[in-house]
Chains A and B, each alone.
Chain A
Amino acid sequence: MDPVLLLDVILLLLAVTTAITAMAIRDLLGSVMLMGIYGLLMAVIWADLFAMDVSFTEASVGAGAATILLLSALTRTGTRERTGGDHHLPALVVVLITGSVLIHGTSQMPAFGDPQAPAHIHVAPHYLSQDIGKVSQKSSDGATRRDFGDHVPNTVTAVLTAYRGYDTMFETVVIFSAGVCLVLLLRPRSPLRREQADE
């Protein structure tokens, strides 16, 4: 059996168990710690899937920053969850309907690796035929060299090279607005507001 596959199965089962435990536990501090474990687990899973960049992000944000942010939220609230919360039935119905619609949607997707899939016949040929990386150079021995041997290493590189600018710009917008929200939520309360709260 493929060892990576076996590890993936065990790690995913562990992640599900951790998530359920983190929800079920009443001590919110323990819940935060279990969420930290969950972040580390997800990062290991991403690494196991050879998604290095996602793994880096998950480790630093999911396991490190999210834990500290949840803790700073706990400094504003109590560390015990109120017991006896009743279950919200309409929410369960909505979640079940949404989930079944999503699962129904995946059943209509083309088979994995299907060459006739829309993703492969719509814009992919255009990306593959782009002129990126085809820079001719004269090397010292007089022969004409072309970067990357006349083509970019793979399709992802072609897309990224051409469209990286938009990607980065809106990533920056998202991160900036998230930072503004955090500053607004976690800023120290002014003395005036604190007096009003005490009264």
Chain B
Amino acid sequence: MNIDGHLIAALLVLIGAILSMIRAAAGPTSYDRVLAVNVFGTKAVMLLAIIGFIGDRSGFLDIAILYGLVNFIATVALLRFVETKRLT
């Protein structure tokens, strides 16, 4: 019963990830896509935490934190490129 609850949570998060992915593929402007990538990163962090609870492993939370950091860096780089067409 416990694992089933985790699985339902993971599937719901996955649905959110799929929706943000559709936006990233379809999104008319670059800002739609940047936002979609950011939302997808958040979903990946949550999915990792849930998988960690399913497998009963605490190491997943460390990776989830790393994902959050990487996601932030990628978003900043993307926005900087969209704004100035340069990275430096």
Contacts and interface: CB of A to CB of B under 8 A. Distances in A.
Given A4-B54, A18-B21, A68 B14 contact: no
Interface in A43-99: 43-44, 47-48, 50, 52, 55-56, 59-60, 63-64, 67-68, 71-72, 74-75
> On chain B, which size bracket covers the interface?
35 or more
15 contacts: A7-B7, A14-B17, A17-B21, A25-B25, A29-B30, A33-B37, A33-B78, A43-B63, A44-B48, A47-B51, A48-B51, A50-B55, A55-B63, A71-B87, A75-B87
A21 B40 CA distance: 16
Interface stretch (A34-42, A105-113, A191-199): A34-42
Contacts, number: 107
Contact of A75 (B21, B36, B41, B85): B85
Contact of B7 (A6, A14, A40): A6
B55 A4 contact: yes
A42 to B, nearest CB: 10
A40 B10 contact: no
Interface of B: 3, 6-7, 10-11, 14, 17-18, 21, 24-25, 27, 30, 33-34, 36-37, 40-41, 44, 47-48, 51, 54-55, 57, 59-60, 63, 66-67, 70-71, 73-74, 77-78, 81-82, 85-87
Contact of A40 (B3, B6, B25, B44): B44
A20 to B, nearest CB: 10
Contacts of A52: 59, 63
A44 B24 contact: no
Residue picked from A17, A41, A64, most chain B C-beta under 10 Å: A64
Interface of A: 3-4, 6-7, 10-11, 14, 17-18, 21, 25, 29-30, 32-34, 36-37, 40-41, 43-44, 47-48, 50, 52, 55-56, 59-60, 63-64, 67-68, 71-72, 74-75
Nearest to B41: A40
Given A33-B33, A72-B87, A59 B63 contact: yes
A17 B40 CA distance: 15
Given A14-B18, A36-B37, A60 B30 contact: no
Q: By DSSP majority rule, is chain B's interface helix, strand, loop, or mixed? A: helix
Contacts of A18: 21
Q: By DSSP majority rule, is chain A's interface helix, strand, loop, or mixed? A: helix
Contact of A36 (B17, B48, B51, B74): B74
The 7 closest A-B pairs by CB, nearest first: A64-B70, A3-B7, A40-B44, A67-B74, A21-B25, A68-B77, A33-B37
B78 A43 contact: no
B33 A47 contact: no
